[in-house]
Structures are given as C-alpha cells and as structure tokens.
Structure 1
Amino acid sequence: MKKFLAVLLAALMICVSFVACSSEKKSDDTNTDTDTQETLTMVTNAEFPPYEYKEGDKVVGIDADVAQAIADKLGMKLEIVDTKFDAIIPGVQSGKYDMGMAGMTVTPEREQSVAFSDSYATGIQSIIVKQGSDIKSVDDLSEKTKIGVQLGTTGDIYAKDDFGDEAVQEFDKGADAVQALLAGKIDCVIIDNEPAKSFVASNEGLEILNTSYAEEEYAICFKKDNTELQTKVNGALKELIADGTLQEIVNKYIKAE
C-alpha cells in the first residue's frame, strides 16, 4: 500500500511540474511575440509645424500621428528618426530608413531617387514678408529679390528654377530663414503655408501674402525596390482616409478658420 501511494504521489508531482512548465513556456512565447514585433522606421525633419516638430525630445505632429496610425494598421512598432531635410531621401534611398515623411512633395527630381505613396495631404507654398514690404504679390518677386528658403524643400527648388541660384539663400531650418528676414538680411521667405502661419504668429512684424506661390501634394517616400512596404502603406492610407482617421489627425493640428 505504501509503495502504491509513493508511486501515486510521484505521478502527481510530475503532472504538476508539466503544467507549470507548460504555463511558463506559454508566457515566454507571448513575450517573444511582443519583443520581436517588426519595427517601421520613419525619418523626418522636425522643423515643420504642424506636420512635424518637437515637444521636449519627442517628435509630434500630423506626420508623426499618421505614421503611428499606419504602423498600428500594419501591426508594427514605429520608430521616428529626426535628421536634416536634405538627408531624408539619401537615407531612405540607401535603406537606412524604411520611409520618409516630412511634408514632402512629389517632384520629378525626387522620383528619380525614391518611390512615393499616394498623396495624403495638400500643401501650399506661401511667401512671408515684413509688414510694409514692397513685395505685395508673387509678381513682385524677381532675380534681384533676396529669397530665403529651407534647404532641399520644394520652396528651394521652385525659387531656384524661377529666379536663379543667386537670388536664393538656403537655411537648414525654416526658423533660421525667418530670423534672417526679421534682421533684414533677405526680402522674403518661401515656405509651406502651415509652418508659415506658425512663424508669423510667433514673430511680430511679419505677414503672409494673400497669393500663394505654389500648390502641391504631400506623400511618403520609400526605397525604389521596397514595393511591398509601399503597397502596404497605400492600403493603410486608404483605410485611414475611408474611416475618417486621417481627417481627425489633421483637425487635431489645423483648426478650421
């Protein structure tokens, strides 16, 4: 009888040990799934409010929120990297980053280097001048006008095409161009409308001309051969547009006037 009880007790201990091990393994497997979640790396230039800017060390804005919504749709973990604007395309082109979002316009020149998603927003290039400036419209710009732009932006590209390299002064940041305008070193700044409104609101003595310089569509850039990610992101964008999420994100940062 004692022998039978000993055998029974041993069997019970083995059973308990097996259940515990199974439970522990299941927990480990769950943690592994979380830890190995694929990362989606988005590169930007956080000098372009309200599309991307910093609150402390965190990059926030329309593009950051849209990228997060895309990552959620794809079941991926989002990582945002901040760099200079003119380093975005080379970084994506080399495969260092998965995609670039920075209020970026599709142009023939850029299409030679990277592929683009469907458009997710419309941008307007505006002109900032000092109040009382002789520049009243786009027609007042010429090869003799000192035009400030952010390096590598479409404002930079368009201004050089229209007025020549000598008329254009490039700055790493739009804010630096605005400070040069305030100091009288340049006559105007060509930059996207939403950042322009932020700069004018925070600097007295500036205004935006009523006439826009150009209108354009914003899109996400990818390495040319990364068609799988491009297709997945386009699918996610379609869903975000259809369910109203994208418009909610825009409304969060751009209030109706």
Structure 2
Amino acid sequence: MKKLLTIIAVMAFCVSAAFANSNDLWEESTLNQIMKRGELRVGLEAGYMPFELKNKKGEIVGFDVDIAKRMAKDMGVKLNLVNTAWDGIIPSLLTKKFDIIMSGMTITPQRNLQVNFCDPYIVVGQTILIREDLKDEIKSYRDLNDPKYTVSTKLGVTAEKATKRYISKAKLRLFETEQEAVMEVVNGKADAFVYDLPYSASYYSENPKNLVFLDEPFTYEPLAWAIRKGDPDFMNWLNNFLAQIKGDGFYDKVYKKWFLSNSWLKDIQ
C-alpha cells in the first residue's frame, strides 16, 4: 500500500512539474510577450526594393511590410517597424530590441548558428528576361547554355557567378549596372538578361514589350523570418500564419502588388 501511495505521489509531482514548466515556457515565449505588450516589433532595413523601402512621405512600405501588417492584425496588436542597419540587425534581435526580423533575409548556415529561421516565404534566386522572338526556343536557363546565345548581366554580383556556373557555354557580356545589361536585350544586342527575381520582375512589369520573363528562379536563395533560438511556440504560430496567408489568397495578392506590378513606383522616393 505504501509503495502504491509513493508511486502516486511521484506521478503527481511529475505532472505538477511538467505543468509548471509548460507555464514557464509560455511566459518566456515571444508570442506571449507580444500579446501582453499589445505590440509586434518587427526589425528590418528599409533599403531592399521591393521588400522594404520608404515612400515619398517617409513611411516604410513594401512586400514584407504588408505581410507584417497582416501578422499584427491577426494577433490583434499594433505594429511597430524598427528600421535597423543590416550589420546590426541580428545582434538587435538577440538583445530583444524587436521580436522578429522580416527583412528579406536569406537563410545561411552561418546565420542559422545565431537565429532560428521559419519556413521560407519566398525564393529569390536568379531569373531570366529573354527577347520575345526567342520564347519558343528558350524555356529555361538550360536552353541558354549554348554558344549561339549571348547573355548579359551586371559585373561582380551573384548573377555573374550563376551565369558562369549554369550557362557557361553561352557568350557572357558584363556591365557596370543592371540597366545597361538589360538594355542589351531590349536593343537586340543580347539574347537574355540574368538577374535576381525582384529586379527582373519590377523591370518586366514596367517594360513588358518585346520581352518574356522566365520567372522561375534557377538558383535557390530562400528568404525567411528570423527569431531568437529556443522559442517553439512562436515558431509554430509563424509557420501556421504563413500557411494560412498562402492558402487564403493574401500572399498572392501582395506578391502581385509588389512583384508583378509597377504601380507602387510612383509613390517611392
């Protein structure tokens, strides 16, 4: 009988300890702190078009900002955008100056040693603009990998490295600026322009004539929101939130607004 009572007492203690530990984890959760504070603090650097940038009124706007607004709304709290220099954005997160980084941050092994990343919300790899008369010949970067084609891009960027690696057989022309490189295609002096998705999408939305946009990235550069380590509760909420906005059409709406349209350009500084 005594043995049975001892076992029951031990089990009760374990349940009580587990419950207390669960409460402690909830109290420490960033999500709980946000709810108590009534404010979601988002860290970003307003300089990566079209993810986050300033309009003529000095307000921070962009793709990430629209998603952050929806995030705060779904939490039932106010949104506070904390503009932070890029080289200090991870240290500022770790010292709790804000709750989350939403600033077009690429997942890398080095950053992942310091922070936890949510599920990727967009892949910003290299994409291609081609001459319209080549639309039946060129469906992907693989079709461009031929000596008969000339590819243009900017000097010293990841697009140059990607072109040399994946389209090595084509003739490569390098320029000091993106504008010079893409104009080679517009003027018929090159067959294709290789560059990252945001720039190519923005350029194409403004200049669709005589161009075809191959918008499927052929390099993998996933972007994700970053949070402090050891917070599974906040991570779970954020991943479910991302799945929700992709499922209910909100994500597609803001994607089209910022990546497939140029109407926002008139309001930018």
Quote the residue 1:119 is aligned against: 120
Mapped pair 1:198 → 2:202: yes
Q: After superposition, where does 1:51-66 map in structure 2 within 5 Å?
A: 51-56=51-56, 57-66=58-67
Contact 2:153 2:181 in 1 (8 A): no
Write the deviation string for residues 116-142 of structure 1: whole angstroms up to 9, x where unpaired.
Answer: 112334556411245567994413258
* Alignment equivalent of 2:212, drawn from 196, 199, 207: 207
> What is the Cα deviation at residue 246 of structure 1?
6.6
Closer, same or farther: CA 248–145 of 1 in aligned 2, 3 Å: closer
**Counterpart pick for 1:138 among 138, 141, 145:** 141
| DSSP-derived class of the 2:249 partner | helix
Label 1:216 to 1:44 Cα distance change in 2 as closer, same or farther (>3 A): same
Q: Distance in 2 between matches of 1:105 and 1:189?
A: 19
Tell me the residue number matched to 1:254.
256
Structure 1, residues 166-205: CA drift from partner, whole Å, max 9, x if none?
Answer: x79698xxxx51454216798623211x652331121355
Question: What is the alpha-carbon distance in structure 2 between the residues aligned to residue 109 and residue 169 of structure 1?
Answer: 30
What's 1:11 paired with?
Answer: none
Q: Determine if contact 2:174/2:181 at 8 Å carries over to the other structure.
A: no
User: Quick one: which of 81, 84, 102 aligns to 2:83?
Assistant: 81
Distance 1:111 1:214, change over 3 A: same
- Could you tell me the TM-score, scaled by structure 1's length? 0.54
Q: Which has the larger radius of gyration?
A: 1
1:43 aligns with: 44
Instruction: Report the alpha carbon displacement of residue 40 of structure 1 after superposing the two structures with TM.
Output: 1.3
- 2:178 counterpart SS class: helix
Structure 1 counterpart of 2:102: 101
Rounded to whole Å, the distance in 2 between the matches of 1:80 and 1:125 is 29
Distance (Å, rounded) in 1 between the aligned partners of 2:231 and 2:159 = 28
Offset, 1:105: 3.9
Gaps of 5+ in 2: 1-36, 261-269
Q: Distance in 2 between matches of 1:213 and 1:100?
A: 26
**Any idea what SS the aligned residue of 1:94 has?**
helix
- Residues 52-111 of structure 1: per-residue CA shift (max 9 Å, x gap): 45442333333112222334428453215276xxx3xx3323226644334444344553
Distance in 2, Cα, partners of 1:71 & 1:228: 22
Contact in 1 for aligned 2:145/2:166 (Cα 8 Å): no
Could you list the runs of 5+ residues in structure 1 that have no partner in the other structure? Answer: 1-35
1:70·1:237 contact (CA, 8 Å) conserved in 2?
A: no
Matches within 5 A, 1:160-239: 162=166, 177-182=178-183, 188-192=193-197, 195-203=199-207, 204-209=209-214, 212-214=217-219, 217-222=222-227, 226-227=228-229, 231-239=233-241
- Is the 8 Å Cα contact of residues 115 and 229 (structure 2) preserved in structure 1? no
Given the two structures, how large is their TM-score scaled by the length of structure 2?
0.52
Q: Percent identity?
A: 20
Three-state SS of the structure 2 residue aligned to 1:119 is coil
User: For residues 206 and 81 of structure 1, do their structure 2 counterparts lie closer, same or farther at Cα, with a shift above 3 Å needed?
Assistant: farther
CA RMSD of aligned residues (A): 4.7
Q: Secondary structure at the match of 2:120?
A: coil
Aligned residues: 203
